Structure 1
């Protein structure tokens, strides 16, 4: 294992990817689309989405609600402001109003309860798929395709995974070629949803690792709950 920055980031990602692939073995369509609670966000046919900003280029779209900043991200907003980002820029990054950012920055005491909806395995895989497709496009590709139009979502778990892993591996292979200077370069990634254009690429890669790890951990828990549900009903 390398001890340089890039080597550590790649090693972390490789271990997470290996565990994730094992945990996703045998994923079936019913489990993939299972909604464990009311009002879940999921993958739905166009016209049947339950959220106002559902997106995707084809017949199936990924739920997305009204833009907001969840309580779990209040600390990140505070960091952005402390690093010198203007309130207007923060609002643009999160697709919320300036007033909402000001409200969060003025918040004191315990964070507000997080009311983010539960999301299905299909939603979480779709979310990772378009983010890593877009992450590659806006750092190593032509930097012009909208990430939310790059992935044709599918209700088939097998087809989704068949398409998903090559996208993940393409991103990883490209990141492995990055130089030390590029890791330090602010704006090496111009990914349009988030703070990538304002961050050194090392921070972008670390953020992508975190995104992959925490969503795959959530997927693993949903698989455990599905298995427990099947056992209890049997």
Structure 2
């Protein structure tokens, strides 16, 4: 018997987890100001930049402000995934295309032995983390529940205003949550129900995609919360 108010079905468990994380995230984002939103705690941070001032090679966005993005690579945390793809019969060429890297880079990863060295990933601002989440979820919604024709990198207008960015983000989150809440059990098991192109979504059942999205939301919101703590303690 299912306890009152607690869902134990697959979709319900994930949505309850997401809803709890959303509630905590909304509290942690309350009062976010522009200076804190754009704060770069160390040199070389990724953030949002005015068009023409971005220092990263693949910064993107449809408007005046772009989201920093570096050259494509395979992070150490994904080496096991590359090995799995190869073991499942995916060619080195297809893997390279899938990750937007060279064949030589894929071969280097497959030949690696032992524990990978930690990635030298950049520190990112609250503006970057929120923009990254917004872009990712907007693209997932479009390529799962939308028309599946709009370029994901053109869906989000990044803003230097914390209040504007947060308001737009929660509007997207509510739309995404409403759509996911109506997914059927059959759709959860459908491989390719999401066709989001900047991920492995088309190759996975939607239940796995949804689990990954919840994880993405939770861990980036935790990082934003830590940055807010550091901002308050910076003096």
Confirm or deny a common fold (TM above 0.5): yes
- Structure 2 spans left out of the alignment, 5+ residues: 1-5
Deviates more, 1:94-103 or 1:24-33: 94-103
Residue equivalent to 2:160 = 155
| d(CA) in 1 for partners of 2:110, 2:37 | 38
Deviations 1:66-108 (A, max 9, x none): 1111112222323333344333332222211122122112211
TM-score of the superposition, structure 2-length normalised? 0.95
Query: What is the correspondence of 1:69-218 to structure 2 with a 5 Å cutoff?
Result: 69-218=74-223
| d(CA) in 1 for partners of 2:92, 2:199 | 14
| d(CA) in 1 for partners of 2:88, 2:177 | 28
Deviates more, 1:115-124 or 1:66-75: 66-75
Residue equivalent to 2:13 = 8
TM-score of the superposition, structure 1-length normalised? 0.95
Query: What is the correspondence of 1:29-108 to structure 2 with a 5 Å cutoff?
Result: 29-108=34-113
SS of residue in 2 equivalent to 1:76: helix
- Structure 1 spans left out of the alignment, 5+ residues: none
SS of residue in 2 equivalent to 1:140: coil
| d(CA) in 2 for partners of 1:85, 1:223 | 42
Give the superposed CA RMSD: 1.1
| d(CA) in 2 for partners of 1:3, 1:173 | 19
Question: Contact conserved, 1:28 with 1:157, CA < 8 A, in 2?
Answer: yes
SS of residue in 2 equivalent to 1:141: coil
Residue equivalent to 2:3 = none
- Cα gap change, 1:81 to 1:168, in 2 (>3 Å): farther
Residue equivalent to 1:219 = 224
| d(CA) in 1 for partners of 2:124, 2:98 | 22
